[in-house]
């Protein structure tokens, strides 16, 4: 019997209105945070990819925030 593995791909909306996938490692991290505490408020992306250090995902609003700028909010 073959068992299928589910893969979750998280994406963010870029400035051109296109959805861009996060890397598999980042997607895995997001899912791990959610599974470890379903009431989690946010995910710090820099914990898994240093290039994403300024970014946080607010899980309640489903938006990505860039902490080092004022107006960098994107749906995810």
- One DSSP character per residue, 40-66 reads --EEEGGGT-GGGTTEEEETTTTEEEE
What is the pLDDT, as a whole number, of residue 16? 94
CATH of domain 15-75: 3.30.720
73 pLDDT higher than 80: no
Q: What is the pLDDT of residues 2-56, one digit of tens each?
A: 566 778 999 999 989 999 999 999 999 999 999 999 899 999 999 999 999 999 9
If phi > 0 it is left, if psi is from -120 to 50 it is alpha, else beta; for residue 30 that is alpha
CA distance 26 to 22: 6
What is the pLDDT, as a whole number, of residue 1? 55
Is pTM beyond 0.85 here?
no
């Amino acid at each position: 019997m073959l068992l299928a593995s589910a893969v979750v791909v998280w994406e963010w909306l870029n400035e051109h209105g296109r959805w861009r996938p996060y890397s598999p490692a980042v997607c895995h991290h997001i899912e791990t945070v959610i599974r470890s505490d379903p009431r989690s408020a946010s995910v710090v992306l820099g914990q898994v990819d240093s290039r994403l250090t300024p970014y946080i995902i607010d899980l309640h609003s489903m938006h990505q925030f860039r902490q080092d700028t004022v107006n960098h909010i994107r749906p995810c």
